[in-house]
Amino acid sequence: MMTDKEWTPKIVAFCCNWCSYGGADTAGMGRFQQPASTRVIRVMCSGRIDPLHVFNAFLEGADAVLVTGCHIGDCHYVNGNEKTEVRYQFLEEMLQQLGLEPDRLHLNWISASEGERFANFIKDVTAKVKELGPSPLKPAGVK
Amino acid sequence: MSKLVGAVAVAGGGVAGIQSAIDLANSGLKVYLIENSTSIGGKMAQLDKTFPTLDCSMCTLSPKLAEVARHPNIELLTYSEITGIEGEAGDFTVKVKKKATFVDPNKCTACGLCVPKCPVKVPDEYNEGGNNRKAIYLAFPQAVPRVYTIDAEKCLYLTKGKCGNCAKACENDAINYDDKGEEIEINVGSVILSTGFEPFDATQLEQYRMDHPDVVTSMQFERQLSSSGPFEGHITLSDGTHPKRIAWIQCIGSRSPEIGRRNCSSVCCMYATKEAMVAMEHDSELETTIFNIDVRAFGKGFEEFYQKAKNEKSVRFINSRPSGVEVDPNTNKLSLKYEGEDGNGTCREEFDMVVLSIGLTPSKSSKQLVDIANVEMDDLGFVKTKIDCPVETTRPGIFVSGAMQAPKDIPDTVADASGAASKASSLLSSERGKLVTEKQYPTEKEITDEIRTGVVVCRCGINIGSIVDVPDVVNYAKDLSGVVFAKEEVYACSSDSLAGIADLVKEHDLNRVVVASCTPRTHEPLFRETLMEAGLNPYMFELANIREHCSWVHQNEKDKATKKAKDIVRMSVSRANLLQPLYKEKVEFNNSGLVIGGGIAGMNATIDIADKGFHVTLVEKSAELGGLLNAYTKLQDGRSTSEVLEPIIGRVRSHDNITLMTDTELVGLEGSMGKFTAHLKKAGVDEEIQCGVAIIATGANELVPEGYFSYGKYPNIVTQSKLEHMIDEGTDAKDIVFIQCAGGRNNERPYCSRACCTVAMKNAIRLKEGDPDRNVYVLYRDIRTFGRWEDLYTQARELGVVFMRYTEDKEPEVGEKSIKMYDSLLNMDFDINYDLLALSAPLVAPETNEGLGSLFKVPLDSNKFFLEAHIKLRPVEFATEGVFLCGTAQAPKLVDEAVSQALAAASRACTILSSDFLETIGNVSVVDPELCIGCGRCTMVCPYKAPELKEVVVETEEITYTTKKCEINPTVCKGCGSCAAECPTGAITSRHYTAPQIMAVIKAYGEGL
């Protein structure tokens, strides 16, 4: 049995195929070690990420959700990430109203060459969420 | 020509060669892409970011690398050089020497296990010597092909017969120390030379002190900025600290006749500005100074970028080039001595780091290749071409592109590359499709309702296997819902394993396959191909990334890595179980073209499409062909514009495949790529034509500089184009003044018009040559005679033209007979008497651009020129498919650049026209009309204009009514899925990333918690 001290946050990272997923790959190639807290879900463009996907990840038991994509101006699909930005603002407001702490939802632009940035991002968020403890939206029985 | 061969040899695998190869291969020609080093990618692969948008260089390049790697019509010959070119246009024999790599490319999986075992350290060329690589190496992480090479000069085994560690480490038996390389002969119809440039070797200028570790070249600095560079993106001094003050010195190896490098290198002012800006992003306290002769910010968006650097980011630009770097013998500190501005005298400043902005010089291998190809060079060492034929060498059938022709930036290089491809493809148009073979696959088996998923877990040697408990993951996978078979492989991607996967599909009647190994970004195409060979739809495949995202980043947490690997496999299987076969639809289309605008660009594009056997309609709104060039009388090479225009106009008028419509305007446009309907109006009569692609070449006009420098107030003030006619007719003016940037580079028109400085030099030279006793003064802000046109500036000075610098805040005041002028370099006021004043007014976008833009649904930039899809790699395309642009419609430019873009636009257009049908991608989005409420939100988020609201009649039992429903055009959809996320009713399905598929992955995620 795990004690609370050993508890690791459970994080979902939505990544776009062209940039942030590549950033996670580059982190691997550079062997940038990071906590084993995060599971990546790949979509072609961050613009595909529906706020519903993020809600559902929380309802399944995620302690934090990361929405990631290309830097503004670098989107493979011209400007998909600009739409992500707009939807993200909506998400942020909704989650705050649900009583979730701001540190449980993050938007970050990571290019395919920014492996270290990806790893540091995972480290930072994991540490912050570890302090917050499990998400209040977690279903009963899930750690 | 007796024989034509439908293949092309492209020499050089940089961005130029890559673009040429893709264009040619997509037009149905066989391509041999020959690259000297171990990977394609060239200099662009080394850049951190690109100006003026600060896009990540590798992010924009790597999809192109991957496209070349998997293109069935491209044969990649890396680590190879051309040793002979015999024959003639249409039928060349090219000898290629393939150097020994000592690694069997069919066996090497690029797992990298050999690298830590290699004891030899070699300065890493990719990082400009900033760190070390091993003797067995991959040039850079994204290298193509993904095969290791042994450096024969450094390898202990090959030089001394000792070691052999890599052969022992290789679990796939790929090392072959007996590799001898080989010489092959290829038969091609045309050759394209694009071996690029070599950065100037600054060590030969001892006064700039490259021996000091904190004096670096701009290329070394570029690697320092890169997160994949030697210091992971941290700018680092030799003592390990970070600099507070950095200086750039421009024109190192450029604009330096004393060392035989006369030309301007065209890109350095912008890359230095970019480097300063990016460096300041890393450290906002950093002080940056760029020492220059002129700031040459002449391209699209460059002047705005320069002004932003200067005014918003506080990059300091000093108009003086220090003649060397001084090193204090006691403290070892760096300082620069320079002439201060506004007559401040000699100044000296200390810097922590000095970056030398090294120029672009013809490479040694380029010189050899020029000899082998037997084409002529100009006296600067670049391949000789003519202004109106910028990609044609002196030997028929051999074309040139990129920095081998002149120093140039990436978009100009890409345009050249497409242009050269277009010329080669015109020559060989009758041979399209003859040397390429389409691969045949077995008939796809039907997918039944029963889910039968197979899972292969890869050990990747010890890459995965030493961290993740692979047998445990295999056992876990076996119990997952839908999985009927699971096993492990040492290397899932080796050719025997791939064959094994195909056998498994048959043996276990699998209808879905999950491979748990590495990243889909490199390996998905390979496995999809395997599925097709096994008779399965390629979309029935899913990769679970347990290497990059797991074993490599949790090396010290084996249990957690194994748990994570199981989670990843479970999430992937849940998705795989819901995958559906997808098909690329084949759509018939109209394979004729439409070109709008009959200037030099439009005419070249028209002829080039027609030469490839396609019908093309050229629409010109005026009565005459020739466009903007009709306003001028001479080109900068001395030839008259009519000498250049007449043969082209003649060809347009006489070509069988061209319909010319003058006095005609485009008034309406419907449809999309492959099926446009254009409504034309000629002398009040309407006409309608069908076409598959369209090129916008509507040009630009010289500004009438009303309100600037007393233009219109006094009669003896004219524009440069008017001056040209006056010179032809003979003018008796004795004191002639030019004012540059008249109406440009100001708040109203913040851009630089690029061509005016070169035009002014040409006219100044003609005036002085006509009468040496004339006085010619050029009042300028920066002289921007980039590239080889620097010679005109030098010639003008030698002829006695007087150059005086003014600043934007103290502009010359023009009276009726004289001009009051403050010279900022001399810090003195002058009165100049004149009897003729010529204003260099910028080119401006026609007012009709807005209307045309909305017809084609294509955007304009802030200066009302048309805005291309990507400023670096897609300079002649719009995001809207099937619509292209070229010439001054895109931005002001010189004739050779307009022609190069025109050929490029024709090339890109013909990659579409030369296919038998249009093919959609598989993962397009589709609309369920039952759920669609016609709100149109999808039409607002799609950058490609794929969704369109259409009126439909809905019949129900009670009523019949008309409403709007959305339809998505599969030929233009790119499958990003933004519309599906936006749709409020769930009417849009983003195929392959459907809501149920994504939700299943999220649910599977939850199951593991």
Contact criterion met (CB < 8 Å) for B553 and A21: no
Kindly state the average pLDDT of the residues B364-387: 95
Q: Before B199, cis peptide (omega within 30)? A: no
> Residue B737: which pLDDT band, with cuts at 50, 70 and 90?
very high
Nearest to B567 among A39, A45, A52 (CB): A39
Backbone φ and ψ for B18, nearest 5 degrees, come out as: -60, -45
Set of chain A residues whose Cβ sits within 8 Å of the Cβ of B561: 36
A82 interfaces chain B, CB cutoff of 8 Å: no
Catalogue the E-assigned strands of B35-143.
49-50, 55-56, 74-77, 80-88, 91-98, 121-123, 132-134, 136-137
Contact criterion met (CB < 8 Å) for A33 and B571: no
Contact criterion met (CB < 8 Å) for B879 and A111: no
> Residue B354: which pLDDT band, with cuts at 50, 70 and 90?
very high
SS3 B534: coil
| The pLDDT of residue B594 | 98
Q: Which of residues 863-892 of B touch A (CB under 8 A)?
A: 869, 879
Size of interface A-B (CB pairs under 8 A): 165
DSSP string, B472-491: HHHHHHHTSTTEEEEEEES-
CA distance B492 to chain A (A): 18
Contact criterion met (CB < 8 Å) for A53 and B999: yes
A143 interfaces chain B, CB cutoff of 8 Å: yes
A104 interfaces chain B, CB cutoff of 8 Å: no
Chain B residue at shortest CA distance from A7: B1009
SS (H, E, C) B204-272: HCHHHCCCCCCEEEHHHHHHHHCCCCCCCCCCCCCCCCCCCEEEEEEEECCCEHHHCECCCCCCHHHHH
Read off the pLDDT of residues B910-942 as tens digits, 9 standing for 90 and up: 999 998 888 888 999 999 999 999 999 999 999
| The pLDDT of residue B142 | 83
Contact criterion met (CB < 8 Å) for A33 and B990: no
Is B282's pLDDT higher than 60? yes
SS3 B456: strand
Cβ–Cβ < 8 Å for B966, B920:
no
CA distance A142 to chain B (A): 6
CA distance B864 to chain A (A): 19
Count of CB atoms within 10 A of residue B856's CB? 21
Nearest to B334 by CA among B352, B319, B355, B316: B352
Domain A11-129 CATH (choose: 1.10.10, 3.40.50, 2.60.40, 3.30.70):
3.40.50
A123 interfaces chain B, CB cutoff of 8 Å: no
Helix boundaries (H) for B87-149: 114-117
Read off the pLDDT of residues B785-814 as tens digits, 9 standing for 90 and up: 999 999 999 999 999 999 999 999 999 999
B231 interfaces chain A, CB cutoff of 8 Å: no
Best residue in A14, A20, A58, A60 to probe B by mutation, most B CBs within 10 Å? A60
Set of chain A residues whose Cβ sits within 8 Å of the Cβ of B53: 73
Cβ–Cβ < 8 Å for B744, B700:
no
∠ CA(A136), CA(A140), CA(A143), 5° rounding?
75
| The pLDDT of residue A1 | 42
Average pLDDT, chain B: 95
Read off the pLDDT of residues B965-988 as tens digits, 9 standing for 90 and up: 999 999 889 999 999 999 999 999
Set of chain A residues whose Cβ sits within 8 Å of the Cβ of B1006: 59-61, 139, 142
Read off the pLDDT of residues A94-142 as tens digits, 9 standing for 90 and up: 999 989 999 999 999 998 888 889 999 999 999 999 999 999 999 988 8
Name, in order, each residue with C-beta under 8 angstroms of B4's C-beta and a sequence gap of 6 or more. B90, B91, B189, B427, B428, B430, B431
B547 interfaces chain A, CB cutoff of 8 Å: yes
A72 interfaces chain B, CB cutoff of 8 Å: no
Chain B residue at shortest CA distance from A117: B227
Q: In this predicted structure, which of B331-335, B340-344, B990-994 has the lowest mean pLDDT?
A: B340-344
> Residue A4: which pLDDT band, with cuts at 50, 70 and 90?
low
Q: DSSP label at B842? A: P
Distances (CA, A) of B970 to A48, B205, B297, B675: 17, 58, 41, 13
Read off the pLDDT of residues B690-715 as tens digits, 9 standing for 90 and up: 999 999 999 999 999 999 999 999 99
Is A50's pLDDT higher than 80? yes
Is B470's pLDDT higher than 90? yes
Domain ranges of chain A: 11-129
Is B614's pLDDT higher than 90? yes
Kindly state the average pLDDT of the residues B537-560: 96
Q: Which residues of B222-247 are buried (b: 16+ CB within 10 A; e: fewer)?
A: bbbbbbbbbbbbebbeeeeeebeebb
Contact criterion met (CB < 8 Å) for A57 and B552: no
Contact criterion met (CB < 8 Å) for B993 and A44: yes
Distances (CA, A) of B250 to A83, B265, B272, B289, B293: 41, 10, 8, 11, 7
Average pLDDT, chain A: 92
Find where tokens 């080989």 sit.
B182
Kindly state the average pLDDT of the residues B769-791: 97
| The pLDDT of residue B141 | 83
Distances (CA, A) of B591 to B239, B913, B914: 63, 5, 8
Chain B residue at shortest CA distance from A22: B521
Cβ–Cβ < 8 Å for B543, B517:
yes
Sign of CA dihedral B670, B674, B679, B680: positive
Contact criterion met (CB < 8 Å) for B519 and A44: no
Find where tokens 């440039």 sit.
B197
B228 interfaces chain A, CB cutoff of 8 Å: yes
Report the C-alpha gap between B973 and B382 in whole angstroms: 42
CA dihedral B988, B990, B995, B997 (to 10 degrees): 150
> Residue A3: which pLDDT band, with cuts at 50, 70 and 90?
very low
Q: In this predicted structure, which of B49-53, B711-715, B886-890 has the lowest mean pLDDT?
A: B49-53
Q: What is the ipTM of this complex?
A: 0.97
| The pLDDT of residue A2 | 45
Report the C-alpha gap between B23 and B4 in whole angstroms: 19
Kindly state the average pLDDT of the residues A36-58: 97
| The pLDDT of residue B499 | 86
∠ CA(A19), CA(B139), CA(B398), 5° rounding?
95
Kindly state the average pLDDT of the residues B409-431: 96
| The pLDDT of residue A5 | 59
Looking at chain B, the number of H-run helices and the number of E-run strands are: 24, 52
Set of chain B residues whose Cβ sits within 8 Å of the Cβ of A41: 571, 998, 1001-1002, 1005
What pTM was computed for the model? 0.87
Is B838's pLDDT higher than 70? yes
Q: Look at strands B918-919 and B586-587 and give their pairing.
A: antiparallel
Set of chain B residues whose Cβ sits within 8 Å of the Cβ of A47: 941, 976-978, 981
